[in-house]
Amino acid sequence: MKYEDIKKIIKDFEASSLYSLELEIEDIKVKMAKYPVTQPQTIVQPQTQNVVASPNTPQVPTVKSNGTSVKSPLVGTFYASPSPEAGPFVRVGDTVKKGDTLCIIEAMKIMNEISAPVSGKIESIHAKNNDAIGFDQVLFVIDHAK
């Protein structure tokens, strides 16, 4: 089996409705799994008219994001650092430049570096070290507002 054959199998699996696949050809074993990506919940604020807030009414902060979502291009295992002993590539609040390494995703024993598509500040991180990552899963949000 050639590398190109394996890449085609991965691409076909990602496009399929299958959640897992185990394949054994000669001395090569391939196991793949997809994990459902949870959709972010939208919180709708009820509209009120003529309401006077009391001093004890908690104020809900408005979250405004100009962020760019960085999504996983493949199924694999998320690694926040280059090695178990090293610190993470990025933390929330860090400033990154376009092309900086954000994390590594291991797929089929191949370490794939995921780079920042834009320059900005890391607004949020949506994966933890050693998490199983699905295709197109949001990993980071980078705020690139100026």
* Residues facing 96 on adjacent strands: 120
Token representation of residue 47: 């509209």
Q: Which domains does the chain have, with CATH numbers?
A: 3-33 (no CATH), 67-143 (2.40.50.100)
How far apart (Å, rounded) are the C-alpha atoms in residues 20 and 120? 36
How far apart (Å, rounded) are the C-alpha atoms in residues 131 and 139? 11
Tell me what pLDDT residue 20 has. 72
Does pLDDT of 32 surpass 80?
no
Does pLDDT of 126 surpass 60?
yes
Does pLDDT of 145 surpass 70?
no
Does this model's pTM top 0.85? My answer is: no
**What value does the mean pLDDT take over residues 51-79?**
68
Tell me what pLDDT residue 89 has. 95
Does pLDDT of 138 surpass 80?
yes
Higher pLDDT, 15 or 136: 136
Which range, of 4-8, 106-110, 130-134, averages the lowest pLDDT?
A: 4-8
Closest to 70 in 3D by CA, of 111, 101, 32: 101
32, 78, 122, 45: CA torsion to nearest 10: 50
b/e per residue, 79-111, with b = 16+ CB within 10 A? bbeeeeeeeebbeeeeebeeeeebbbbebbeee
How far apart (Å, rounded) are the C-alpha atoms in residues 89 and 91? 7
HSE, CB side, 13 Å, CA atoms: give it for residue 137.
22
